[in-house]
Structures are given as structure tokens and as C-alpha cells.
Amino acid sequence: MISALVYDVGRVEHYSVEDEADLEAAREATGTTWIRVSSPTEAEVRAVSEAFSLHPLEVEDVRSGVRPKTEELDEHTFVLVKTVALERGETTFEEEIRTQPIGLFLGEDWLVTMTDEDDHVPVVSDVWQSVENQQGRVLKQGPDFAAYRVIDHAVEEYFDLLDNVGDTIETIEESILSSPDSELIEELNAVRRDLLSFRKVVWPMREAVGTLARGDLVGVRETTEKYYRDVYDHLVEIVDLTETYRDLTRGTRDIYLNVVSQSTNEVMKRLTVVATIFIPLTFVVGVYGMNFGEHATNMPELTWPYAYPAVILGMTLVTTVLLVYFRREGWM
């Protein structure tokens, strides 16, 4: 699908695109030309490439979804950015980050946006709709400003994703402190994998926008550079947040291990108390459980009528003394 807009201050015109001649007419029209390409066929890709001198490798980069980057060619600037979305499953460890590449081809008075999706990507369609409705400052600026708006919308989604990840980490940490479970560590590992995938997007994205913000490209006007610098600052903040959340996941994992270790220590302490109580009792019953004969002269207490109650009372007294001692020492 190919759509075309030509806009200027107070004027927006739609162009019907059927072949390369229509694309040439839209490009030669007065104003800023924006061509939006979604899930193109081979014929559509060939028509757009010939009309705007797009290199086949650039189109292939959009379709293959390589890392974000910015390249300057003879007649235009190629920018590849990526949107991110957190696809949720039934549990946290079934979530994954889904990326969508967007190719922006930036000329002197034209912009081509290309996505390999059947439906229009929201970050593109939102800016497109604002142009159609003649909203904001896009009409007063050139194609580089429209490209900035698309990139800025994509970066806003990065903040939304990090907010969700931060809430998930906080929830997992609270659950670990209340009731540690092996599933929680699986969810935490899933969050770490998501952050790693996100990091592979945001780091090259920062480099790509940094190239646009430095003022080295002919296609980016000086009045628009400050907007790209603002996006670059946002990406620097996002990179820092990503690293912070990765550190939080490591810290939360350490908390889980400490809580499990502490729980194990508590169990071992209780078992040790029980074993310590039974040590003297086992000694007593062991001594008097030996077979010395019915009239053993070396153990006269065996023939005492009150021997059995005395032993039971003594064992009870030993148990009571040990329990009181352990409680006073704070061991139970």
C-alpha cells in the first residue's frame, strides 16, 4: 500500500498513487511530499525506489530489521529506527519484546516512510493523521521535522515499556520478600531477557539519532537539530534507565537467594534445636535400654519400683530446661 501527501502551510493534498508516474507527480508538487509505504509488493518497492533513487540495500535493511542506523547518501538520508512493544503471555516469563523497523528516507523536500507490516505502525499513522488534520507545527516545517516527529513517537514508546518493566520488577521483589517461589526467579530471568533485547535496540538507536543531532547531515536543517538533540537526550536517559533496571534485576535475584538462604537457615536452626533436645534423651534411654540382667548389682536403680517414673520425669525436666534456655537465647 502506498499513500501520498503533499503539504504546506494551510494546505494538504492527497495524491492517488497507481504507478511510478503518480509518484513523480507527487514528488514534483510544490510543498513537502510524504510517501507512506506499508507492506509493499515487489512492484511497489521498485516504483518507489526508482522515483526517489532508493538503494536496494536500504530497502533490504528495512525488511530484514537490522539494528537502527543513519546513513547519508548522495540525494537523501536513510534512517532506520525501531518501535518496541511488550507482548504479554499468561505469565511474566512468557512475555517478549516485539520490534518493528521503520525506514525513513529523507530528501530535500520529501520524506518516504516504509514499514513491512500489513497495518500502519501507530507512530507513523499518528503523525500522518496530524498532518492530514493540519495540526501542530509539522506543516510549517520540512520533511526533517516530520521524520523527527515519527522518531520522537517511537522513543516515547520506549519510556512506556520501561515503566511496565519497572512495575514488574517491583511486583516480583515484593512477592519474593513475602513468599519466595521458584517461579518468581523464572519471571525475573524473563525480565532480564527483555531488558537485554531492549538494550540491543536502544543503544544503536541512540547512535542513529546522535548522527542526526550533530548537524553533519545536509538533510537536517539547523532549526530541526535542536529537536533531534532533545530526542538524543531522551535516549541517553533511556539507556541509563535500562542499565539501572538490569542492576535492579541482579539485586532482586540476590534478594531471592538471600531470602531462600535465610529460610533454609531457619529450618536448619529448628532442626538443630530438636536434635539437641533429643541428644540427652537418647543418651538416657540408651543407657537404661542395655541388657544387664534382671538382678544387676552394678545398676541397683533397675530394681527400684519408681525407676521408670523417675526417668520419665528426669527426661521431661531436661527437655523443659533446654527449651527455656533456647528461647532465652533467641534460638527459637
Tell me the C-alpha distance between 18 and 121, whole Å: 22
Q: Is the pTM of this model over 0.85?
A: no
- Residue 101 CA neighbour count, 13 Å, CB half: 20
Given a contact cutoff of 8 angstroms between Cβ atoms, the answer to whether 99 and 201 are in contact is yes
**Cell numbers that stand for 39 in this block:** 507492506
pLDDT digits (tens, 9 = 90+) for 137-148: 777 788 888 899
Tell me the C-alpha distance between 234 and 200, whole Å: 17
Given a contact cutoff of 8 angstroms between Cβ atoms, the answer to whether 204 and 69 are in contact is yes
Angle between helices 122-132 and 143-178 (to 10 degrees): 140
**Cell numbers that stand for 212 in this block:** 542526526
Given a contact cutoff of 8 angstroms between Cβ atoms, the answer to whether 19 and 65 are in contact is no
CB atoms within 10 A of CB 113: 27
pLDDT digits (tens, 9 = 90+) for 236-287: 999 999 999 888 888 888 777 777 776 777 777 777 777 777 787 777 777 6
Phi, psi of 330, deg, nearest 5: 80, 25
102: helix, strand or coil: strand
Please tell me the CATH superfamily of domain 2-260, with its number: CorA soluble domain-like (3.30.460.20)
**Cell numbers that stand for 279 in this block:** 541428644
Q: What is the pLDDT of residue 303?
A: 67
Q: What is the pLDDT of residue 235?
A: 93
Residue 236's nearest CA partner among 263, 207, 258, 264 is 207
Tell me the C-alpha distance between 315 and 278, whole Å: 10
Domain coordinates of the chain in residue numbers? Answer: 2-260, 264-328
Tell me the C-alpha distance between 233 and 242, whole Å: 14
Q: Tens-of-pLDDT digits for all 332 residues of the chain?
A: 788 888 887 788 888 777 778 787 877 788 888 888 888 788 888 888 888 888 888 888 888 878 999 988 888 889 999 988 877 666 555 567 888 899 999 888 889 888 887 556 788 888 888 888 877 777 778 888 889 999 999 999 999 899 888 888 888 888 877 777 777 788 888 888 888 888 999 999 999 999 888 877 777 888 888 999 999 999 999 999 999 988 888 888 877 777 777 677 777 777 777 777 778 777 777 766 665 555 555 666 666 777 777 777 887 888 888 778 777 777 66
**Cell numbers that stand for 108 in this block:** 530535500
